[in-house]
Chains A and B, each alone.
Chain A
């Protein structure tokens, strides 16, 4: 056991044993290191002004991802490379090509969001030689600009994409081997790290077993993976959490695999990683990924966390439930598996016992000829929370009748919930417009949604019905969903 985390900040090795259990990376950078290029715009992971890159070894490969420093806790940074905007320009002041492109294209006005945009563009530039407009827009989903209207920023991304000169000027390309080695060295002999400050603890377990042991002893500990939800408990609600146990580094929870039966997703797999596989295996899921958060949130948030916290408006439970996913919970004493929908008991209440944690979710592979789709409806198309999210999974028999129907919605009830009445009414019927138009009204028996700032109950009810219509039309070969870019482009 040890009492300090180790990470690399820009070029510097940092060993930090003095930090609070919910101290954010942003406060550390700005207040303690005076790296003030990284800005606070919202402190809730929505505006991207605080965007930095975090590099970590994934299957031995150093991968840099954009994250929101404002809701990222220091305890989650052990064994990573944190890169801020100050690291980009050369020592002689020569701008990095990404920065130069922003200058050339007049991509900044007030400039406050600009360092965050530079980091998101940098993340894109590192990972994509020739991004399409769709990919550029996707990479910028987590960054708000109120001045420019974005056109010059997109042009900057296009300008710099073409520039792939020698790696000499780029600090991350130049130092890749060396940084990898340093991160390997930090991770070489994992030990559980416990940092105590003012009586509160950050716990970074050495491995999955250590985590299971710890959570068995201290079931009231707050488990933090991506902190895209828990981060706001701290920055907005100012909740005191103690102890906080970090699991984002546990490789045992980060495996994702697909076989002929289906896809198994470890609880610690991020949205970004999960959808790389899910989009491949269940292509209709590809529509959803760009609609969840921004890139920074997708790089941090996990499928396990999205399920574990039991939000009625989480975006992954509806499609996973519709696909028949099974959830595995684990504790010191063993494992249990349940249909995912059974995990959600009531608003804010899940079937997770003291000392248990979400280990993985298994998603059965849908039949080749099954109809499946997921639709998210939100006020703003991208980076918004669902007003409602509906997933439809219908299998027909040889006669064209509905053999099975699984329909699940978020945003329509206190939990993610199946539309049992609609499912039942569809089953055994011919899959045609007469059937669909007859069962639409049964959604009113399944759901009595609320009115709030995202939508009224009337809108939610009507749209749920219309989504079934949309689903039917699409299975009949009449796509109705507005697509800004052709999907294959994305």
Chain B
């Protein structure tokens, strides 16, 4: 390295707040980024496939695997009896989620056995040959069926209560009751679930797992094998998409691969086919929201009483915290003076629903936006007016308390919405839309501007901790590791920016290394949008420790006071002397300075008492707003998104390019959830939309034809987060509610905007047409 260039350089490459490209972009476009299936396998690696139930709810009477065992290439067939430890992969400790079914099947496709064969093709073919006898039991796959059959709840429900909703609901000038059905969503990460296990000596096993939660996979593998956590190492360099679908759902594949690898003494790789992946892994929860709302003639809400029922599937998984988060967002951006909210986490004979970007929040918020919409149609106003009327106020307004008794202290929603209303020319376009509809019998247009306020932190307070490990080697190169995982969201580059910034060195000096349980233990899932908040801070803590040691060393060596040691770009000024960073590092090494540090962070201020329904579950809120304009065809229900404008608050962005990508991608994913993505089970309980041929996520030609996305440049996190940034993973997802509501407005034009169309989600062309027909019939 050339010393002179260091000395003349004024800035580093890749500080915090710079728009850096994704660290793997070059590898992505050349096909050299390594995913688990691309890793060169050890010799004699075996391959696994699932033996899946073809009943929805049944007793297993007998299992005959002789033909499977005799099939070409089959090495071993594994059943629950072969599990050395516990036959359980439930993430919440409820022991309700057997890895392999024993005497009962509770959803169609539930794994009963696994085949291990020389090739993947052989394993897949053999897995279809089992002869299993069942005795069918009654089943239900949806919320309606669960309620009708008096289904049990998979976890204890939560209730939020404030004020006197019971009394206020009868007292207000106006009241309405309604229901909204909200569909689930398949993650459709492009890289499916996969795990490869390599057995080691003693109890040891190393697993490469496509997971957002390596620590949990580690604990599960140990639990299933009946060995200590220290014997299990989980590695995750990158996922080909996660979106919550790899928070707990990778456990099965990793555990099966690990058990087989230990039993057979050979590496075992487990990659399900896309159809199998969609059949056996959990999805976003469907919800049914029943609401009872009291308000006045202006549309100002007095009280809300709502029940959020959810299709949870056959076991608990994360349904507790997901349904909790739905209630935490059942207020959207609105102050409810009196409120009563209850969750109803229903057991169904479907795959166990799980985390998915927003984690119940989108469903909660959508229910609130429906309430607003219906009030607007009832009082004959633009829904945006009703929104503004009901926004949380500023501190001191008496309108800042959430249903869970947390004060909203950092509220910027009014400003965000006002700016977007102006920049998107909302008012003029709304008038133009109404004018257009007057003269267009078949094609109708709609426009809607909707807000987002999303609480940031795991509501399980303990998860809000993170660790990081930073080494500086003698040549001045920096090794960075932390507990966060990279699923495309750009976490690795953001955290590397934090470290580069801390030492004031070019980011090229910082090596981002694969997440592994052996370097940073006891990590939380990379979830709840918390990745950069938690791991950025932990990495900063580690880097800061080493930096302080380097400063101490420089003070000793040069005999200067603290303020005479200054980290300049790629160099350090010590008194009158300027030394390259790597020279200082090498000198420190010879002085026996420890150049490695473990960093740690825990989010301050937060606490939550679920029983009482009180506390401060969130450290802060992220805000945003979107304005969408659509056209619909009232003959077929087909639609198009003509334009979307977004203004989103990420605080002081750690990396604006990455954040814009999260916003655009989150929005389009949310749009898919609310439009074309429909999960469909038949009367036998089989999921029939189990592949991209039948399950339709948005295409390039579905994104808004005009798509303007901006960050709220002025925003800064009120709390001292890393670089005063805000989380960005989940909040933009809910901006897509604007699309659903714009479609709804286009439908409402049929009845001259006098009736709320009650358009449920997903608003497939069929649902849109049927809503048009309902309004025509009025």
The answer to whether B633 and A109 have CB atoms under 8 Å apart is no
The answer to whether A467 and B190 have CB atoms under 8 Å apart is no
* Chain B residues positioned under 8 Å from A140 (CB to CB): 699-701
| Stretch among B17-25, B132-140, B162-170, B426-434 lining the A interface | B17-25
Bound-state Cα–Cα, A380 to B635, Å: 16
A333-366 residues at the B interface, CB under 8 angstroms:
none
Instruction: From the candidates B21, B30, B702, name the one contacting A95 in the complex (CB within 8 A).
Output: B30
Residues of B in contact with A, size category:
35 or more
CB of A242 closer than 8 Å to a CB of B = no
The answer to whether B31 and A36 have CB atoms under 8 Å apart is yes
The answer to whether B668 and A149 have CB atoms under 8 Å apart is yes
* Chain B residues positioned under 8 Å from A467 (CB to CB): 635-636
The answer to whether A456 and B29 have CB atoms under 8 Å apart is no
The answer to whether A37 and B31 have CB atoms under 8 Å apart is yes
* Chain A residues positioned under 8 Å from B660 (CB to CB): 106
Bound-state Cα–Cα, A103 to B693, Å: 29
**Lowest 4 A-B CB distances belong to which pairs?**
A37-B31, A110-B488, A112-B240, A111-B28
The answer to whether A110 and B189 have CB atoms under 8 Å apart is yes
CB of A184 closer than 8 Å to a CB of B = no
* Chain A residues positioned under 8 Å from B490 (CB to CB): 109
CB distance from A69 to the nearest CB of B (A): 12
CB of A475 closer than 8 Å to a CB of B = no
The answer to whether B188 and A382 have CB atoms under 8 Å apart is no
* Chain A residues positioned under 8 Å from B34 (CB to CB): 36
Q: Quick one: given A482-B631, A482-B640, are A39 and B190 in contact (CB under 8 Å)?
A: yes
| Stretch among B90-98, B583-591, B592-600, B766-774 lining the A interface | B766-774
CB of B241 closer than 8 Å to a CB of A = yes
* Chain B residues positioned under 8 Å from A377 (CB to CB): 636, 638, 765
* Chain A residues positioned under 8 Å from B239 (CB to CB): 110
Instruction: From the candidates A47, A150, A452, A463, name the one contacting B688 in the complex (CB within 8 A).
Output: A452
Instruction: From the candidates A102, A152, A459, name the one contacting B29 in the complex (CB within 8 A).
Output: A102
The answer to whether A146 and B243 have CB atoms under 8 Å apart is yes
Interface string of A435-473 (1 = CB under 8 A from B): 000000000000000001111101100110011011001
The residue of chain A having its C-beta at the shortest distance from the C-beta of B689 within the complex is A453
Instruction: From the candidates A109, A112, A232, A238, name the one contacting B35 in the complex (CB within 8 A).
Output: A112
Instruction: From the candidates B191, B443, B635, B661, name the one contacting A112 in the complex (CB within 8 A).
Output: B191
CB of A384 closer than 8 Å to a CB of B = yes
B623-677 residues at the A interface, CB under 8 angstroms:
631-633, 635-640, 657-658, 660-661, 664-669, 676
Q: Quick one: given A137-B701, A482-B443, are A111 and B765 in contact (CB under 8 Å)?
A: no
The answer to whether B31 and A46 have CB atoms under 8 Å apart is no
Interface string of B676-702 (1 = CB under 8 A from A): 101010100000110111101111111
CB of A262 closer than 8 Å to a CB of B = no
Bound-state Cα–Cα, A385 to B478, Å: 52
Known pairs A111-B240, A137-B700 / 10 extra A-B pairs, C-beta < 8 Å: A34-B40, A47-B692, A86-B30, A99-B29, A110-B242, A111-B25, A111-B488, A148-B664, A385-B694, A467-B636
The answer to whether A453 and B680 have CB atoms under 8 Å apart is yes
Interface string of B698-713 (1 = CB under 8 A from A): 1111110101010000
Q: Quick one: given A146-B669, A148-B661, A149-B665, are A103 and B25 in contact (CB under 8 Å)?
A: yes
* Chain B residues positioned under 8 Å from A38 (CB to CB): 31
CB of B353 closer than 8 Å to a CB of A = no
Bound-state Cα–Cα, A107 to B661, Å: 9
CB distance from A155 to the nearest CB of B (A): 10
Instruction: From the candidates A88, A109, A482, name the one contacting B488 in the complex (CB within 8 A).
Output: A109
Residues of A in contact with B, size category:
35 or more
* Chain A residues positioned under 8 Å from B701 (CB to CB): 137-138, 140-141, 381-382, 484
CB of A113 closer than 8 Å to a CB of B = yes
CB of B37 closer than 8 Å to a CB of A = yes
CB distance from A451 to the nearest CB of B (A): 10
CB of B405 closer than 8 Å to a CB of A = no
CB of B81 closer than 8 Å to a CB of A = no
- Classify the interface of chain A: helix, strand, loop or mixed: loop
Instruction: From the candidates B658, B697, B703, B769, name the one contacting A151 in the complex (CB within 8 A).
Output: B703
The answer to whether B636 and A152 have CB atoms under 8 Å apart is no
Bound-state Cα–Cα, A453 to B694, Å: 8
The residue of chain A having its C-beta at the shortest distance from the C-beta of B657 within the complex is A106
The answer to whether A44 and B274 have CB atoms under 8 Å apart is yes
CB of B564 closer than 8 Å to a CB of A = no
CB distance from A253 to the nearest CB of B (A): 27
CB of A164 closer than 8 Å to a CB of B = no
30 CB contacts below 8 A, A to B, read: A37-B31, A85-B30, A86-B31, A88-B30, A107-B29, A110-B240, A111-B24, A111-B488, A112-B35, A112-B190, A114-B28, A141-B699, A144-B190, A146-B697, A148-B668, A149-B661, A149-B669, A150-B699, A153-B700, A238-B128, A377-B638, A380-B696, A380-B702, A381-B701, A452-B680, A459-B637, A459-B769, A463-B769, A466-B635, A467-B636
Interface centre among A30, A107, A151, A387 (most CB of B within 10 A): A151
The answer to whether B38 and A147 have CB atoms under 8 Å apart is no
The answer to whether B770 and A459 have CB atoms under 8 Å apart is yes
CB of A176 closer than 8 Å to a CB of B = no
Interface centre among A44, A104, A456 (most CB of B within 10 A): A44
Bound-state Cα–Cα, A140 to B698, Å: 12
CB distance from A117 to the nearest CB of B (A): 9
* Chain B residues positioned under 8 Å from A147 (CB to CB): 241, 488-489, 661, 665
Instruction: From the candidates B489, B640, B668, B694, name the one contacting A484 in the complex (CB within 8 A).
Output: B640
The residue of chain A having its C-beta at the shortest distance from the C-beta of B40 within the complex is A34
The residue of chain A having its C-beta at the shortest distance from the C-beta of B26 within the complex is A103
Q: Quick one: given A385-B693, A459-B769, are A41 and B191 in contact (CB under 8 Å)?
A: yes
Bound-state Cα–Cα, A238 to B490, Å: 38
Interface string of A127-161 (1 = CB under 8 A from B): 00000000011101101111111111110000000
A187-204 residues at the B interface, CB under 8 angstroms:
none
CB of B70 closer than 8 Å to a CB of A = no
Bound-state Cα–Cα, A134 to B443, Å: 21
The answer to whether B190 and A41 have CB atoms under 8 Å apart is yes
Interface string of A89-132 (1 = CB under 8 A from B): 10000010001101110111111111100100000000000000
CB of A174 closer than 8 Å to a CB of B = no
* Chain A residues positioned under 8 Å from B668 (CB to CB): 148-150
Interface centre among B29, B191, B689 (most CB of A within 10 A): B29
* Chain A residues positioned under 8 Å from B639 (CB to CB): 482
CB of B67 closer than 8 Å to a CB of A = no
Bound-state Cα–Cα, A140 to B40, Å: 31
The answer to whether A150 and B703 have CB atoms under 8 Å apart is yes
Instruction: From the candidates B29, B128, B657, B696, name the one contacting A384 in the complex (CB within 8 A).
Output: B696
